[in-house]
Amino acid sequence: MERDLKKRSNKFAHSCVKLALSLQKGTLEWHVQKQLIRACTSVAANYRAANLGQTKRGFISKLSIVIEEADECIFWIEFLEEENLLRKGAYEEVLAEARELTSIFVASRRTAQRSLDRLSEAEKNES
């Protein structure tokens, strides 16, 4: 699963970058382009970093960043849609993937947190 999500988050970043680069030239488009590129590449980079975490707490912390950045991608794509800066058919797939990845990362963080809580409880009971 970890390997699939690494590939998937990387592919998502590439798709998002292509979407951002397809925007027309303009002040608003330029601003959103930079924000979207920063957020989507952060999803992939921080997910990789999360899996290098040496502790469960480190993993959870990095995953929280991944969730925030994925949700920010959703915001910017929806913003572009609301401003009519995207043509139909250009963004629906990327937006759906951003939402799905966000849900997966939230569930993964929840699972990791429960595991950490159980471990902490077990350690308390041993002392």
* Residues with Cβ within 8 Å of residue 57, at least 6 apart in sequence: 116
Structural domains of the chain, ranges and CATH numbers in brackets: 2-126 (1.20.1440.60)
- By mean pLDDT, which of 8-12, 59-63, 76-80, 112-116 is the weakest? 112-116
pLDDT for the residue numbered 2: 64
At 56-79, the pLDDT tens digits run 899 999 999 999 999 999 999 999
CA–CA distance, 84 with 127 (Å, rounded to integer): 60
With beta carbons less than 8 A apart as the criterion, state whether 16 and 36 touch. Answer: yes
CA–CA distance, 21 with 103 (Å, rounded to integer): 26
The residue-averaged pLDDT of 86-103 equals: 95
Collapse the DSSP code of 23 into the 3-class scheme (helix H, G, I; strand E, B; otherwise coil) and give the result: coil
Q: Which amino acid is located at 5 in the chain? A: L
Which of 123, 28, 61, 6 lies closest to 36 in space, CA to CA?
28
Percent of the chain with pLDDT over 90: 80
* Residues with Cβ within 8 Å of residue 9, at least 6 apart in sequence: 43, 44, 47, 48, 66, 101
